[in-house]
Structure 1
Amino acid sequence: MDRLIYTAMTGARHILDQQATTSNNLANATTTGFRAQLDSFRAVPVVSEGLPTRTFVVDSTVGTDFRPGPIQTTANPLDVAMRGEGWLAVQSPDGSEAYTRSGSLKVSTNGLLQTRAGHNLIGENGPIAIPPDSEISIASDGTVSAISTVQTQPGPSNVLGRIKLVNPPPAELLRGDDGLFRLQSGQPADVDQNVRLVDGAVEGSNVNPVDAMVSMIALARSFETQMSLLKNAENNAAKATQILALN
C-alpha cells in the first residue's frame, strides 16, 4: 500500500514543479532570445533497511531547449540576432561573464552598449563605449562602428570595439536564475571567430505557445490521476482496517 503512496505523492509534487516550468516557458513566449526549459522524471528506489520495493519520483536535472527561435526584422541598427549558433557575452550583476541570445541592445545613460535587461556587453577589449551624437552600426562579425552626426558632412567611420561572440558546447552551459547562461566550469568562454550576427533583427523565443498549452493541460490531468491514486490508497486502507476489526 505504501508503495502506491510513495509513487503518487512524489509524482504529484514534481508534476507541480513541471507545471511551474511550463508556465514560465509560456510567459516567455515573446521574450527575445529565450530558451525553453525542459523537465524529465525518473524513478529512484527508497534506500532503507528493508527490501527495495518502494520507489519515488524525482525531477531530473532541468535541461534547456537550444533550438534557435525565429528571426524577426526590426530595422533598428542596435538590434542583432545570431546567425545560427553562438552567444553574446555580457557582464552579469556580480561582475562575471555570462551569455545570452537576446540581441535587443541599447545605449545606457553612461554611454555603454548593453542589453535591454541592463547587462553591459563585453567587447574583446572591455566594455564598448558609445560617444554621444553618433550613428551606430554593427557588422556581422560584431564590430561596432560610429559616425558622428554633429558635422554637416558625414565623417569617417570610427571602430569602437568588437562584441565578444562565443559558441561553447551546449552541454557545458548552465542557466542561471537571472536567465543568463554560464559555463559550468565558471571560466569565460573563448572567442569564436566563426559566429556571425544579423543586424537590424532580433531572435524570438523558441517556445511554441500551442505545445506549452497542451502540456499544461496534460500535466493538470496527470496531477488529477495522482490525487485519485492517493484517494484509492486511502480507501483501500480504510477497508483493510474494517476487515481487521471484524476479525
Structure 2
Amino acid sequence: MSDVSSYVLLSHEQALRRQMDVTANNMANSSTVGYKREQPLFHEYVERVNEAPVNDARKTSFVLDYGAVHDTAQGSFQATGNPLDVMIEGPGYLNVEAPGGGVAYTRAGFIKVLESGDLATAGGQRLLDTNGRPINVPPDQASRISIQSDGSVIGPDGGQLGRIAVTGFPDEMAVKVRGDGLLDGSNGRIYTQREARLRSGGVEASNVEPIVETTRMVEILRAYQTSMSMSQDLDNMRKSAISRLGGTNH
C-alpha cells in the first residue's frame, strides 16, 4: 500500500472541487426562472489490503463523485402580468419539443404564441400536449386565451384548445441538465388533470439562496486549504524521512 494518504487527500480535493463547481453554477443561476439548485452526491469507495503496519490501515476509504441531484424545493411565485405565463405548483416539468426532435422538460414557464399559432416557451420550444403534439391557437384568439390550473388551454368561447402536459419523475436522478434551461428525463409519467397544478400570471423563481451558497463556498475553500496543508505536512515528513535515511547510510 504505497503512499495511500496522498491518494485519499487527492480524492478529497477532487470532491471539494466538484462541490465548488456545483455551488458556483448555483450562484450563476440564482436569478434563472425555474432553476433548481443542484447538490453533488458522493460515494465511498473502500479498498482493503492483506498487509498493513496496523490492522486499522487495512481498510482505506476514498471519495468518488456519484453525480448530482436537484433540490426540488418550490421557488417563489413571480408575477409577470402575462396571463399565459405559468408556474408549476409542486413537482413536475412542462413538456416541450426538444431541438432536433423528441421531448425535453423545463420549469421555466414563460409562454408566448408563435407566428404559427403554436404555444412556446421564451426560448421558442413548442409546448406539447398530453399526446405529444403542439398546442395551436387560432390567430384571432391568440390574445384572448387562458390557461387553467390543470393545464387546459381555453379559448374565448370556453372551448378547450389542448392541455399542457406536465410530467413527473419518481427519481430526480433521472433528470439531467441538457442546457438552455432544458432537461432530459427518463421513466416519467404525464400527470392527470387532477394531479397537474399550474398557477397562471407568473413564473417560478430560482430556489437558490445566494447567502446559503456564499457560505457554502467559504466552507469549501476552508476545507480545501486544510487538505492542502495536510498534503504539505505529509510532503515535509517524507523529505525529513528521506534525509535521515540518507544520513544513516553515510
TM-score, normalization by structure 2: 0.85
Q: 5+ unaligned residues in a row in structure 1: which ranges?
A: 148-155
**Alignment partners' CA distance in 2, 1:42 and 1:85:** 26
Alignment of 1:96-175 (within 5 A): 96-125=102-131, 126-133=133-140, 134-135=142-143, 136-147=145-156, 156-171=157-172, 173-175=174-176
CA contact (8 A) 1:79 1:201 kept: yes
1:76 CA drift (Å): 0.7
Per-residue deviation at 1:124? 2.4
Q: Secondary structure at the match of 2:78?
A: strand
Matched, 1:213 2:214: yes
Residue by residue over 1:44-78, the C-alpha shift from the partner in whole angstroms, topping out at 9 and shown as x without a partner, is 23467866444422122311111111111222112
- Structure 1 pair 85–174 and aligned structure 2 pair: CA distance change class (3 A): closer
Secondary structure of 1:88's aligned partner = strand
Report the equivalent of 1:198: 199
SS of corresponding position for 1:219 = helix
Shift in Å, 1:213: 0.5
Q: Secondary structure at the match of 2:175?
A: strand
Q: CA deviation at 1:15?
A: 0.9
SS of the residue corresponding to residue 62 of structure 1 reads strand
Residues 173 and 181 in structure 1, CA contact (< 8 A), matched pair in contact too: no
% identical equivalent positions: 33
Q: What displacement does 1:102 show?
A: 1.4
Structure 2 counterparts to residues 1-247 of structure 1, below 5 A:
2-46=3-47, 52-125=58-131, 126-133=133-140, 134-135=142-143, 136-147=145-156, 156-171=157-172, 173-178=174-179, 179-185=181-187, 189-193=189-193, 194-247=195-248
Higher relative contact order (CA 8 A, sep 6+): 1
Distance in 1 between the 2:104 and 2:155 partners? 26
**How many matched pairs?**
237
- Residue 24 of structure 1 deviates from its aligned partner by 0.6
When the two chains are superposed, the root-mean-square deviation of aligned CA atoms in Å is 2.3
Residues 36 and 207, structure 2, Cα contact 8 Å, conserved in 1:
yes
d(CA) in 2 for partners of 1:137 and 1:230?
62
Give me the TM-score of the superposition, normalised by structure 1. Answer: 0.85
SS at structure 2 position matched to 1:176: strand
- Aligned amino acid, residue 189 of structure 1: R
CA distance in 2, matches of 1:213, 1:73: 27
